[in-house]
Amino acid sequence: MIDYTSNSEFVLKDPDKYTDWLIAVIKEEGFELGEISYVFTSDEELLEINKEYLDHDYYTDIITFDYTSAKVLSGDIFISTDRVKDNAGEYNVTFDEELRRVMIHGVLHLMGFNDKSEEEKKKMTFKEDSKLKMFHVEQ
């Protein structure tokens, strides 16, 4: 099950489409879906989570709490839509494109991918790019 909650004014358009995409990605990587909760929130709320649980005092676009067991993906993924909006402008992509990148980034973390070193970041970005192509946008 994939659940979407918003603690801000943001509303995910067509959540079933996102769910279908995420399930396809999970299956393609050889995992099963457990329970994943996406929580869309503000910069300030995510900053507080970052301070309280990770002892980090800075803004971020995503925090993933991993409850995966073996090959069954489960976790809570908190996303700052404020950060997504700012990053979309910085990277010259649409909000929706950046949101999908951040959403799949969280799932990849649940699969064991990391992004601490430069080599890990390259692998993560490659996987993100590959999985983003699986999301079909109607023209």
- Which H or E run includes 82? helix 81-91
Dump pLDDT digits (tens) for 113-131.
Answer: 998 899 999 999 999 999 9
Q: What Rg value do the Cα atoms of the chain yield, rounded?
A: 14
136 is an annotated ligand-binding site residue: no
**The domain containing residue 17 runs over which residues?**
2-132
Strands 2-6 and 72-80: unpaired
Contact between residue 80 and residue 65 where contact means Cβ atoms under 8 Å apart:
no
DSSP letter (8 states) at residue 12: -
In a domain, 76, yes or no: yes
Dump pLDDT digits (tens) for 34-53.
Answer: 999 999 999 999 999 999 99
96 is an annotated ligand-binding site residue: no
115 is an annotated ligand-binding site residue: yes
Dump pLDDT digits (tens) for 95-104.
Answer: 999 999 999 9
In a domain, 139, yes or no: no
In a domain, 78, yes or no: yes
**pTM to 2 decimal places:** 0.93
Residues forming beta bridges with residue 2, ordered by sequence position:
36
In a domain, 138, yes or no: no
What is the CATH classification number for the domain harbouring 90?
3.40.390.30
Tell which residue, 41, 139, 62, has the closest CA to residue 105: 62
In a domain, 137, yes or no: no
